[in-house]
């Protein structure tokens, strides 16, 4: 475990050197929140009106939180890196190292997400305050729970991206699967809470990874309750175990048929 912590710390230190780049990345985040602020202001004729159980402020805070989780993930870059590692044969250098490739990728990626996520959280909160004037009802306990569930959501999401990237063992380029995954998360998980979807879709989403990686932490931020908290944490733990096992299986299967032409 100490070696992964060391990898994580090194990545944090490296990313601290590129704060300017992260601030530039925040511009895209700002644009997106600005668009959604305008969109929801148009949809809600009165800011206190409830649509599917959410008022206007809650809807905008929901998008602020889900977009922090999503945009700080940097999934496209990670997926591309894993695809290139597999296709280019770089992965062979990791096989004989005294660590697991999945553990290495996970800890090093979390190092960059933590730096980016912290900056996006501070700026996202400021943005929400400037646009909306107030936070939803929060307590110290609920803030701690939101932080814990956000961290779990990021770990699960990273493992999903690793799983998709490792698909390169089977098909040459797994990037298209990443596009599809990202759009599913974006449309079903970040733009609207699952209460916005009709009957059967809502039920499916309640059991899907979206509940664990996106909806859960954001729902707890805008409308905290103990039963919700218990549900979110249980679902996250289940998904964490499932996706980690899936990553291990695809990695072991892929490594067995790995052929590298040295040079």
Task: Give residues in contact with other proteins (CB under 8 A).
Answer: 24, 27-28, 31-32, 34-35, 38-39, 41-43, 51, 171-173, 175-177, 179-180, 183-184, 186-188, 191-192, 196-197
Residue nearer to other proteins on the CB measure, 4 or 177: 177
Smallest distance, Å, CB 192 to other proteins? 6
Contact present, 136 and 57 (Cβ < 8 Å) = yes
For the bound state, the minimum distance from the C-beta of residue 24 to other proteins, rounded and expressed in Å, comes to: 5
Nearest approach in angstroms of CB 164 to other proteins is 12
Question: Which residue lies nearer to other proteins by CB, 7 or 164?
Answer: 164
Contact between residue 131 and residue 37 where contact means Cβ atoms under 8 Å apart: yes
DSSP track, 161-205: HHHHHHGGGTSS--HHHHHHHHHHIIIIIISS-GGGS-HHHHHHH
Tokens 């990686």 -> residue: 213
List beta partners, residue 71. Answer: none
CB of 34 to other proteins, least distance (A): 8
Q: How far is the CB of 245 from other proteins (least distance, A)?
A: 26
Cβ-based nearer residue to other proteins, 128 or 189: 189
Closest to 221 measured CA to CA, from 153, 160, 167, 161: 153
In whole angstroms, what is the distance from residue 68 CA to residue 116 CA? 9
C-beta of 9: minimal distance to other proteins in Å?
A: 28
- State in angstroms the smallest separation of the CB of 145 from other proteins: 28
| Minimum CB distance to other proteins smaller for 102 or for 185 | 185
Closer by beta carbon to other proteins, 7 or else 59: 59
Q: How far, CA to CA in Å, does 13 sit from each of 4, 24, 76, 125, 127?
A: 14, 19, 22, 24, 26
The smaller minimum CB distance to other proteins, of residues 31 and 129, is found at 31
Region for residue 198 given its phi and psi (left: phi exceeds 0; alpha: psi -120 to 50; beta: otherwise): beta
d(CA 93, CA 102): 13
| Distance of closest approach, residue 252 Cβ to other proteins, in angstroms | 25
Nearer to other proteins, 45 or 96 (CB): 45
CB 125 within 8 A of CB 76: no
Q: Which is nearer to other proteins, 192 or 221 (CB)?
A: 192
Contacts of 186 (CB under 8 A, 6+ apart): 70
Q: Are 69 and 214 in contact (CB under 8 A)?
A: yes
């Amino acid at each position: 475990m100490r070696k992964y912590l060391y990898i994580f710390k090194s990545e944090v230190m490296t990313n601290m050197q590129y704060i300017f780049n992260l601030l530039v990345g925040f511009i895209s985040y700002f644009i997106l929140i600005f668009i959604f602020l305008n969109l929801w202001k148009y949809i809600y004729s009165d800011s206190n009106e409830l649509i599917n159980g959410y008022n206007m402020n809650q809807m905008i805070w929901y998008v602020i939180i889900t977009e922090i989780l999503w945009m700080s993930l940097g999934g496209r870059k990670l997926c591309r890196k894993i695809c290139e590692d597999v296709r280019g044969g770089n992965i062979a250098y990791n096989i004989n190292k005294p660590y697991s490739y999945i553990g290495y990728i996970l800890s090093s990626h979390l190092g960059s997400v933590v730096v980016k996520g912290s900056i996006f959280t501070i700026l996202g909160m400021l943005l929400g305050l400037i646009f909306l004037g107030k936070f939803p009802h929060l307590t110290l306990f609920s803030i701690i729970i939101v932080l814990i569930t956000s961290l779990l959501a990021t770990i699960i999401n990273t493992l999903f991206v690793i799983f998709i990237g490792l698909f390169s063992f089977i098909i040459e380029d797994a990037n298209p699967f990443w596009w599809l995954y990202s759009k599913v998360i974006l449309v079903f998980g970040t733009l609207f809470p699952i209460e916005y979807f009709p009957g059967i879709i809502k039920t499916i989403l309640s059991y899907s990874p979206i509940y664990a990686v996106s909806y859960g932490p954001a729902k707890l931020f805008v409308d905290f309750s103990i039963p919700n908290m218990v549900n979110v944490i249980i679902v996250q733990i289940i998904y964490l175990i499932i996706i980690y096992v899936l990553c291990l299986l695809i990695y072991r299967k892929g490594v067995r048929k790995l052929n590298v032409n040295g040079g």
